[in-house]
């Protein structure tokens, strides 16, 4: 049987991008890089309060203190390495870097406790059932809950730039709800669950445009709960779709469906996924540019972190939505990251992936490795094995 040339070309392209990532090979690479990173940390001029490698920028490994919103990702990576390999070496390293965040369980000045404490202590408790970790998770959830305003129905994100906003809530904050859901399961106290649901519902109501793309920031009046303005602080423009923000939204509403069974969240996650996957500015390898509406595309930076977060979310969403397409797309993303976005072996401080974009408008972390890209990449690799 003869096929039209256009169909043969389509089949060829699909074959190229449909190859599955070699999970075993990727974890071997990840372990080699992490071994190198641990050596580089020892060589670095690390101050007592610096606990976790965040990025490699301007030729230098950047190590941050426990208060930094990214401090929990590297411990989380170590837990994932232990989970995949069973090697006690990674267990000991995970414990060592996790305990460095201990005091942050009492931190009430940040909404990022989900990132900080659940990626570290949450994975630690899941894999070891250590009661000490359980207690830290509960206290962290209590601290996060202090940032909830019942009038607004949301957890406040930032305390800075009071000249710009009164009660800012960012789409990233959806990622911190998992900590609250877990706290209810661990304690039986439904107040954490209710805060998470309120935050998710209000975000769903106010953060999204008609095409299911998300604003980065929505500012509220803390006295009335009314929306004051909507903007995109880390994206190209207020009405643009910042790539990592769309990934946070996809992941956040997927986990909300997992924890509640509310199909409202499932439908929202699917609509967000469709926005991402059908976007005309999404490259063929499915690793997005840092903002879907940057007018300089394709002459601008990619964001491997947004791709890794999206892949991890799509693996989970595929199971709930019963749509194999989501898994296929996640496979393509992982294959692309594994082939073309590795950091050099024994280079870039020992990070796994390169070519992420942190905060381009602030000229910060552009086309560099970042720890949350590595964290969600390893998570996606683990999830790919379970599907």
Q: List alpha helices for the chain, DSSP H.
A: 5-17, 23-43, 73-85, 88-99, 113, 123-128, 131-145, 177-187, 190-206, 243-260, 263-277, 304-321, 324-340, 371-386
Going by C-beta distance under 8 Å and a sequence separation of 6 or more, which residues neighbour residue 160? Answer: none
Interatomic CA distance for residues 369 and 243, integer angstroms: 16
Phi and psi at residue 227, in whole multiples of 5°?
A: -70, 130
147 is in an annotated binding site: no
CA nearest to 189, candidates 141, 224, 223, 150: 141
Interatomic CA distance for residues 351 and 32, integer angstroms: 10
Terminal alpha carbon distance of the chain? 34
Q: Which residues are catalytic?
A: 112, 172
**Strand pairing partners for 353?**
342
Interatomic CA distance for residues 207 and 212, integer angstroms: 9
303 is in an annotated binding site: no
248 is in an annotated binding site: yes
Cα atoms in the 13 Å half-sphere on the side-chain side of 370:
24
* The dihedral formed by the CA atoms of 30, 35, 36 and 40, expressed in degrees to the nearest 10: 130
Q: Is 203 helix (H, G, I), strand (E, B) or coil?
A: helix
79 is in an annotated binding site: no
112 is in an annotated binding site: yes
Query: What are the CA-CA distances from residue 299 to residues 57, 132, 291, 294, 295 (Å)?
Result: 21, 49, 12, 9, 9
- CA 244 to chain centroid, in Å, comes to 8
Interatomic CA distance for residues 55 and 79, integer angstroms: 19
In the annotated binding site for substrate, the residues are 112, 172, 232, 244, 248
């Amino acid at each position: 049987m003869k096929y039209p040339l256009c169909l043969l070309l389509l089949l060829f392209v699909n074959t190229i991008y449909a190859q599955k990532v070699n999970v075993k090979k990727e974890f071997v690479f990840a372990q080699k890089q992490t071994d190198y990173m641990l050596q580089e940390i020892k060589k670095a001029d690390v101050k007592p309060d610096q606990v976790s490698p965040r990025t490699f920028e301007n030729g230098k490994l950047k190590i941050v203190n426990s208060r930094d919103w990214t401090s929990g990702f590297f411990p989380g990576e170590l837990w994932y390495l232990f989970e995949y390999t069973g090697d006690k070496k990674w267990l000991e390293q995970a414990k060592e870097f996790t305990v460095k965040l201990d005091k942050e369980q009492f931190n009430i000045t940040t909404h990022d406790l989900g990132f900080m404490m659940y990626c570290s202590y949450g994975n630690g408790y899941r894999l070891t059932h250590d009661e000490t970790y359980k207690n830290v998770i509960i206290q962290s959830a209590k601290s996060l809950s202090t940032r909830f305003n019942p009038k607004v129905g949301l957890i406040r994100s930032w305390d800075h730039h009071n000249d710009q906003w009164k009660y800012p809530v960012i789409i990233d904050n959806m990622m911190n709800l998992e900590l609250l859901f877990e706290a209810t399961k661990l304690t039986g106290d439904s107040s954490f669950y209710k805060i998470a649901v309120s935050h998710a519902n209000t975000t769903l109501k106010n953060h999204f445009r008609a095409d299911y793309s998300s604003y980065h920031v929505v500012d509220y009046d803390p006295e009335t709960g009314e929306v004051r303005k909507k903007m995109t602080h880390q994206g190209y423009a207020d009405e643009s779709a910042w790539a990592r923000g769309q990934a946070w939204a996809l992941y956040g509403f997927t986990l909300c469906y997992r924890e509640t069974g509310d199909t409202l969240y499932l439908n929202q996650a699917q609509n967000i996924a469709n926005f991402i996957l059908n976007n005309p500015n999404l490259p063929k390898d499915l690793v997005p540019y840092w903002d879907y509406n940057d007018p300089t595309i394709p002459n601008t930076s990619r964001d491997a972190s947004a791709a890794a977060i999206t892949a991890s979310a799509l693996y989970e969403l595929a199971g709930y939505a019963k749509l194999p397409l989501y898994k296929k797309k996640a496979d393509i993303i992982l294959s692309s990251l594994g082939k073309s976005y590795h950091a050099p072996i024994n280079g870039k401080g020992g990070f796994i992936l390169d070519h992420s974009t942190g905060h381009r408008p602030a000229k910060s972390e552009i086309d560099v490795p970042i720890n949350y890209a590595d964290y969600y990449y390893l998570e996606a690799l683990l999830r790919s094995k379970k599907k």
